[in-house]
Amino acid sequence: MRFAMGSSIDQRATYLQLQKAANQKLQDLYAKDLHFELDKINEPILWVKNMPNLFAVICYLQTDEIFKINYLSDLTAYDNIDHIDGDKRFVLVYQLLSLETKVSVRLKLLIDDSEDAKTISHIFPAANWLEREVFDMYGIVFRGHPDLRRIMMDERFIGHPQRKEYDIKQRMPFADNMKTNLDRNPVP
Amino acid sequence: MSKDGSNTMIFSTLLSEAVKWGRKNSLWPMPFATSCCGIEVMSTLSSTYDLSRFGAEVVRFSPRQADMLIVAGTITTKMAPVLRTIYDQMLEPKWVIAMGACSSSGGIFDTYSVLQGIDYIMPVDVYVSGCPPIPEGLIYSVLYLQKIIDEGLERTPALKPTYEEAMKAMTYHKTPEGLILPSIKTGISLGNGTNEEASKEVPNEVRNG
Ligand code: SF4
């Protein structure tokens, strides 16, 4: 869909209309069997049931005329340790966007400590590093990921620091950050 | 020698004094600016504050050519070996300025990933306080470094704390096993650092040394 060159206010209004239509469509399609809600700025949140369900929804949103999702804005997770959002441990968050129609959709998925997630890096290559980050910080394993290593923390680090039970001040002593090795060269 | 070359003068002086004079007036900096403090370094080097007035103008981005390492910014534990390598690559004589709260002590980032002061990994000559320090602060530290070189003040000795002291500084809460929090979920092997390796390697290292 192409837009005539108008003022940016007009364009913004058009995008808001499109987002509204998208919200309505999402509600009609999925509100029967999935939990659907709108956040404070009227962006849709869809709680998908499981991994296959997530793939189905993403594939549909990519091909649909209204959504035309083609961009992964963010992939993250949060620790649902107090079970406010459900009875599983973590919540995976997929923030999707269409660069063409500026429609954005947020998919959320409850996932337990013992479960494995599946990678979406074959659909959105940008998910590669984001999944590595989620793995590093929360310990959620993405099956099928091409290279699931730590991305932020040291490779020798043990534990997953964004889990609520990880103490924020728990630093890991390695040979090269201890005062005892201050003037040794090379550092053992 | 006078400017017109007419009457020649000879200064008799100690070579060591001449070397000192040369060193203190040509402190070529190597900026290691990892975060916000780096902006102040740029400001100090720019024409408003003009660090070159004190002979420290030739910024070298190769540690081999620099005399003074300015560490400006947060150093994470993952960055620590990199910084240490840069320090090791610098040729003697070398001096280190820890600029800002983060590089001096970890600053506001008292968290799992941030090194609590670069003096864990290298001897530091001058600490500059502030978050970030004003450019005058950095200039003052360079002048202070010149004073250190000029007067031959004693440099900060490399501290050698005991194993217990090092552990106390690194961790606030000790687990029953000692220092390593056991991995909650080891579904996947994480590089070369396994649980047994880490908990075995570190104490032995310390006890031998
Ligand atoms: S001391 Fe303050 S300004 Fe400097 S790097 Fe740390 S947080 Fe940034």
pLDDT tens-place string over residues B67-113: 899 999 999 988 888 898 898 889 888 899 999 889 988 888 888 88
| Residue among B111, B160, B163 whose CB faces A169 most closely | B111
Residue B94, SS3 per DSSP:
coil
Take residue A105 and report the two structure tokens written for it. 């959709």
- Tokens (6 digits) for A16: 């808001």
Q: Would you give the DSSP letter of residue B155?
A: P
How close is the nearest chain A Cα to the Cα of B98, in Å? 16
Write the residue in B159, B190, B209 that is nearest to A155 by C-beta.
B190
For the residues B189-209, what does the mean pLDDT come to?
41
Q: In chain B, pLDDT over 70 holds for what percent of residues?
A: 67
> How many whole angstroms separate alpha carbon A26 and alpha carbon A32?
10
Confirm if A141 and A117 have CB atoms less than 8 A apart: yes
Contact (CB, 8 A) for A105 and A21 = no
Nearest to A159 by CA among B140, B179, B61, B153: B179
A134, containing H or E segment: helix A127-138
Enter the tokens of residue B104. 């001096």
Is the distance from the beta carbon of residue B132 to the nearest atom of ligand 1 less than 6 Å? yes
According to CATH, the topology of domain B16-151 is Rossmann fold (3.40.50)
- The most confident of the ranges A102-106, A170-174, B77-81, B116-120 is A102-106
Q: Which helix (H) or strand (E) holds B196?
A: helix B195-208
**d(Cα A43, Cα A36) in Å, to the nearest integer?**
11
To test ligand 1's pocket by mutation, which of B41, B76, B102 has the most ligand atoms within 8 angstroms of CB?
B102
Range of lowest pLDDT (A131-135, B12-16, B154-158, B205-209): B205-209
Q: What is the pLDDT of residue B154?
A: 67
pLDDT cut 90: percent of chain A above it: 49
Spacing of C-alpha A66 from chain mean position: 22
- CB of A158 within 8 A of CB of B198? yes
Contacts of B114 in chain A (CB under 8 A): 171
* pLDDT above 90 (res A142): yes
Nearest residue to B24 via CA among B169, B147, B205, B206:
B147
pLDDT of residue B5: 65
What is the side-by-side order of every strand in the sheet holding B68-72? B29-33, B68-72, B95-99, B126-128
Average per-residue pLDDT in chain A? 88
pLDDT, average across residues B156-160: 48
**For residue A96, pLDDT beyond 60:** yes
Output the CA angle A79-A50-A125, nearest 5 degrees.
80
CA dist list (Å): B193 to A172, B138, B153, B200 = 12, 39, 42, 11
| 8 A C-beta contact, residue B72 and residue B103 | yes
Contact between chains at B110 and A170 (C-beta distance less than 8 A): no
Nearest CA owner, ligand 1 atom 3: B132
What 3-state DSSP class applies to A175? Answer: helix
Q: Structural domains in chain A? A: 9-116 (3.30.460.80)
Q: Cα separation of B26 and B67, whole Å? A: 8
Please tell me which residue, B209 or A83, carries the higher pLDDT value: A83
Stretch(es) of chain B classified as CATH 3.40.50.12280: 16-151
Who's near B199: CB < 8 A, 6+ residues apart?
Answer: B177, B178, B179, B180
pLDDT score for B191:
37
For residue B132, cis peptide bond before it (omega within 30 degrees of 0): yes
pLDDT at B6 exceeding the cut of 80: no
pLDDT of residue B193: 40
Q: Tell me the pLDDT of chain B averaged across its residues.
A: 75
Confidence of residue B202 (pLDDT cuts 50, 70, 90): very low
How confident is the model over A147-161, as pLDDT tens digits?
A: 899 999 888 888 899
B159: CB partners within 8 A, 6+ apart: A179, A182, B119
Structure tokens at B192: 């070369």
- Which chain A residue shows the shortest CA-CA distance from B184? A159
| pLDDT (0 to 100) of residue A67 | 87
Q: Where are the beta strands (DSSP E) in A7-129?
A: 35-38, 44-48, 71-79, 90-97, 104-111, 117-118
The reply to whether ligand 1 has any atom less than 6 angstroms from the CB of B36 is: yes
pLDDT (0 to 100) of residue A135: 93
String of b and e for A76-106 (b: at least 16 CB within 10 Å)? Answer: ebbbbeeeeebeebbbbbbbbbbeebbbbbb
Q: Per CB distance under 8 Å, which residues of A are interface residues toward B?
A: 113, 116, 135, 139, 141, 148-150, 152-161, 163, 165-188
Distance CA B122, CA A72 (A): 42
Q: What is the pLDDT of residue B18?
A: 86
Greatest Cα pair distance, chain B, in angstroms, is 84
Alpha-carbon distance values, B54 to A39, B42, B100 (Å)? 57, 16, 21
The CA distances from residue A124 to A36, A92, A94, A133, in Å, are: 24, 16, 11, 15
| B208 three-state secondary structure | helix
Q: Are B15 and B103 in contact (CB under 8 A)?
A: no
| Option in A163, A167, A177 nearest B77 (CB) | A177
Contact A141 B113 (CB under 8 A): no
